[in-house]
Amino acid sequence: MTDEWLRTVGTATDPHILLRAVRALLESGGDERDAEVIEAYTQLLARLPSSTEPAVTLLIAWVLSAEAELLERMGRTEAAAARFNEFLTRFTDSSDPQISERVARALYGRLLTLAAADRRAEAIAAVDLLMERFGSSSDPVMRSLCGWALTKKIEVLRTDERFADAVPVYRELIARRDEAVDPGLSGYVAWSMNEVAEELCGAGRTDEGLAVYDDLLDRFASSTDRDLFGYVGLALWNKSRVFDEAGREKDAIALRQQIIARDDETADESLADVVSWCMERVAEGFRESGQNEKELQAYDDLIRRFDEATDENVRGRVAYALSMKTYALRQLHRVEDELTAYDEMADWYSRSPQPIGVRTLFIGCLRQKATTLEDLGRAHEAAAAYDSVVAAYLDEAPETSAELLPIAVLSLLRKAECLCAIDPTSSIGAVHQMTGLLPDASEPRHDHGDDESLSEEDLADLLVSLCNDRTWIQFATSSDDEASRAAMAQRALELYETTRVWLTGPAADLNTPATGAAMLIRNIADGYALLSRTWRSAGRESISLPSNLLIESMIRAFEIDEWAAHLGRPLELSDSEQLADDLMDNERDNAEQNEVDLAAHFVVSIRHHEMLEILCNSPSGQVALQTDALRNYAATRINRARKIAGWTLHQAEDAAGAAATGVVVAEGLFVATNTTLRSSEELFPNRAFLRSLLRESDTYDWLESEDVALPGWLDRISSD
C-alpha cells in the first residue's frame, strides 16, 4: 500500500494533494493493513513542509491525532501515548476550531488509553485538562466529549472507591445538561441523578434529594427512549420510599401507582423486582383498609403480569400473591373460590423449580387447604391434602427440610383426626407415617418407673393456693401480650409438672380424693395453658376456661373439701351451691343439643399419644415441637378435649375415662411443645397411667360397646 501511495502523490508537497491522498489511503485500507497505514502516516509527516500555513498545520494536526487513534485501536498503547503527547504539546493552545476539536478528541482518547492501562490518576488528570480547556465551550461536539469524559471520571473514582469524590462530578454532569446535544448521555445523567438524590436523602437532606428526583422526572419521565425507563422507574420507587419514611402515605401510593402503570419492566427486566414490590404494597394497602375485593384484583393483576418471571424475588412475590389470594377469599367466605385458588397456586408451582422461600409458602398453603377441607367436614379430601403436605416435605433437600418439618408434623396430627372421622382403625397409618418422617427416632421406652411423689399435705396446700379469687381474676383479666402469655405458659407447666410427679408416684390411686385434687389442679392448669396462646377475635370468648363454681362443685362432689380439712388445709368455698347447680343444669341442656363422636375423639387422642412418643424420641422431632404452630395446636386440643369432657359428664358418664384420656393427652402435647423432653420416658401421661385411667374409670366396657379397636399396649389384658 505504501508504494502505491508514494506513486500516487509523487513528489508533491502541496498540503491539499497530500490530504486527498491520505484520505484515499484510509478509504482503501482495512484493519488487516493497519501497520501499512501507520507507515504511510510516518512518511506523510516527513513529506509535509515546515510551514505555519493554516492548511499545513491542520494537516499535521489531523495526521498526528489520526495516527494516535489508530495506534490505540491496534493495542500499541505506549506508541499511541507518545503520539498523543506530541500532538497535545504542539496544538493544545491552538485557537483554530478544527484543531481544537482534534485536541479535545485527543485528550478524550488519551484518558481512555490511561484508564484502560489502569493508570487512574493520570486518567483523572486528563479529564481535568479536557474540562479546563473545553468545559465552557458551547460547541455540541465539545459538550458531548466533556460529558463523556465526566462519566469516565466517575467510573474511575468509583473503581477506587472514592465515592465521596465522585459526588461533585455527578453534580457537574447533571448541571451541564450535555444530554441535550448528545442523547446517548441521557442514561448516565439519569443514573447520576439517582445517585445524588439517594446520597442527599441518606444524609438527611431529604428536600434536596426530592428536588433532584423531581428534576430527573421532569427531564426524562416522558422520554420514549426505552433505555431510560429503568432510571425513571428507579427514581419513582426511591421517591416513594422517601415518602414512606416521612409518613406521606398517600403520596407514596400515588407514586407506586405511576410505577405500575408505566410497565417499565418490559424495557428493563431489573425493574420487575420494583414493580412487583409496588403491586404487592398496593394489595396490602387494600387489605389493611378492609377492601378485600380490590385486594383480590390487585393480587390477580400481579399474578397475571409476572406469572412467567424468573427472578427469585419476583417469583417470591407471585407466590405470596397466590397465597394471600386464598386468605382474602377465606375472609370473604368464598370457600369454593378459595379451594380453586389453592389449585391455581399448585399449578403455578409445578411449572418450574422454586426457591426455598416459595417452597415454604407453598407447603404452608397446602396445609391451609387441608385445614379448610377439614373445617368443611370433607375428611377424605382433607386427609389427602395433608398427605400432599407430607409428600412435599419429603421432596425437600435436607438443608431446607428442618424449617418445614413442623408443618409436616402438624399435618400428620391433623390427618389422624380426619382418618378417625372416616374410619378410626385407619388412623394407625398416620402413626406409621410419623415414624417414616423422623428417621432419627429411637425405640420408645415405656413405664420406666415412678418418680418421688409429693405429700398429700403439699398437694392440699397447692389446691388451697389456687382456689381463691386471684386465680379467677387472672383468668378474666389476663392480657394478650407476649409477656403475659409467656407467664401463663410457665404457670401451666409448673402445675402440670407438680401433679405429674404426684400422679405417677407409688401412692397414686385414681379413686382417692388426693388424686381428685391433683386432677382438679390440672384442670386449673388448663386455664393457664389456654391463655398462653393468641386466639382469633371470637376465639377467646369460646375457650373452655375453668370456672370457680364448677371447680367448687367438683370439690364437693368428690369430697375433696373434707380431705383437705382433715389434713388441716381447709378450703374456703363460697355459699353458691345453688348457682353451681344452675350452671351444671345449663351445661347439661347445652350438651343435649350437641352431638359428639366420643369414640373417634378417643382414638385420635391415642394416636396423638403414640405420635408424641415418636416425636419425643427423635432429636429433630423435639426441635419441631418447639414451634408456635404446634403450641397453638396443643392449646386447641386442650380446648376441644375440655369441651368433650364437659359433654361426657352429662351424656356418657360411663365413658368418663375416654374423655379424660383426651384431656391428659392434650396436656402432654402442650408440655412437649413448651419445654424440651429428653425422651418419651419424661412424657406424661405415660402408657401405664392411660391403662390405669381406663381401668379404674370402668371405661373398657364402654369402649367394647362402641367397637373401639385398641392398640395392643392399651387393651384390657395389658391393663390387667
For residue 583, what pLDDT is reported? 53
Please state, for a pLDDT cut of 90, what percent of the chain lies above it: 35
Stretch 191-218: mean pLDDT, rounded?
84
Burial category of 81 from C-beta neighbours within 10 Å (exposed 0-12, middle 13-18, buried 19 and up): buried
Phi and psi torsions of 478, nearest 5°:
-60, 145
Give the integer Cα–Cα distance in Å for 697 and 658: 9
For residue 223, what pLDDT is reported? 83
* Between residues 629 and 444, the one the model is more confident about: 629
Give the integer Cα–Cα distance in Å for 605 and 609: 6
519-570 confidence digits (pLDDT tens): 999 999 999 999 999 876 556 677 888 888 788 888 888 889 899 999 998 9
Band of residue 56 on the pLDDT scale cut at 50, 70, 90: low
Phi and psi torsions of 426, nearest 5°:
-80, -10
Lowest mean pLDDT among 50-64, 108-122, 454-468: 50-64
For residue 667, what pLDDT is reported? 97
Burial category of 267 from C-beta neighbours within 10 Å (exposed 0-12, middle 13-18, buried 19 and up): middle
Choose from 84-88, 165-169, 396-400 the range with maximum mean pLDDT. Answer: 165-169
492-513 confidence digits (pLDDT tens): 999 999 998 778 755 457 778 8
Stretch 416-430: mean pLDDT, rounded?
94
For residue 185, what pLDDT is reported? 78
- pTM of the full predicted structure? 0.71
Band of residue 204 on the pLDDT scale cut at 50, 70, 90: confident
Nearest to 88 by CA among 56, 112, 64: 64
- b or e along 133-168 (b: 16 or more beta carbons within 10 Å of the residue's beta carbon)? bbbebeeebbbbbbbbbbbbbbbbbeeeeeeeebbe
220-251 confidence digits (pLDDT tens): 888 878 778 878 888 888 898 888 888 888 88
For 660: left if phi > 0, alpha if psi spans -120 to 50, otherwise beta; the answer is alpha
243-272 confidence digits (pLDDT tens): 888 888 888 889 888 888 888 787 778 788
The 3-class secondary structure across 172-226, one letter per residue, is HHHHHCHHHCCHHHHHHHHHHHHHHHHHHHHCCCHHHHHHHHHHHHHHHCCCCCH
* Between residues 585 and 523, the one the model is more confident about: 523
Say if residue 364's pLDDT is above 80: yes
* Between residues 714 and 574, the one the model is more confident about: 714
Long-range contacts of 161-169 (CB under 8 A, 24+ apart): 166/195, 167/195, 167/196, 167/199
Say if residue 405's pLDDT is above 50: yes
For residue 1, what pLDDT is reported? 47
Choose from 93-102, 191-200, 447-456 the range with maximum mean pLDDT. Answer: 191-200
Query: Which amino acid does the sequence have at 406?
Result: P
On average, the pLDDT of the chain sits at: 82
Phi and psi torsions of 246, nearest 5°:
-90, 0
- b or e along 644-663 (b: 16 or more beta carbons within 10 Å of the residue's beta carbon)? bbbbbbebbeebbbbbbbbb
285-306 confidence digits (pLDDT tens): 899 888 989 999 999 999 999 9
For residue 201, what pLDDT is reported? 84
Choose from 40-49, 187-196, 490-499, 557-566 the range with maximum mean pLDDT. Answer: 490-499
Band of residue 23 on the pLDDT scale cut at 50, 70, 90: low
Nearest to 102 by CA among 71, 74, 52, 63: 63
Choose from 270-274, 355-359, 670-674 the range with maximum mean pLDDT. Answer: 670-674
Give the integer Cα–Cα distance in Å for 304 and 291: 20
Assigned C-alpha cell, 719: 391393663
Q: How do the residues of the chain divide into helix, strand and coil, expressed in percent and rounded to 5?
A: 75, 0, 25
Say if residue 431's pLDDT is above 90: yes
Burial category of 253 from C-beta neighbours within 10 Å (exposed 0-12, middle 13-18, buried 19 and up): middle
Stretch 674-685: mean pLDDT, rounded?
92
Choose from 81-95, 155-169, 260-274, 673-687 the range with maximum mean pLDDT. Answer: 673-687
For residue 259, what pLDDT is reported? 87
Query: Which amino acid does the sequence have at 227?
Result: D
Band of residue 416 on the pLDDT scale cut at 50, 70, 90: very high
* Between residues 244 and 4, the one the model is more confident about: 244
Nearest to 632 by CA among 477, 472, 485: 485
For residue 579, what pLDDT is reported? 54
* Between residues 395 and 39, the one the model is more confident about: 395
For residue 593, what pLDDT is reported? 46
* Between residues 399 and 354, the one the model is more confident about: 354
Band of residue 385 on the pLDDT scale cut at 50, 70, 90: very high
Assigned C-alpha cell, 408: 409436616
Give the integer Cα–Cα distance in Å for 212 and 10: 62
Say if residue 48's pLDDT is above 80: no
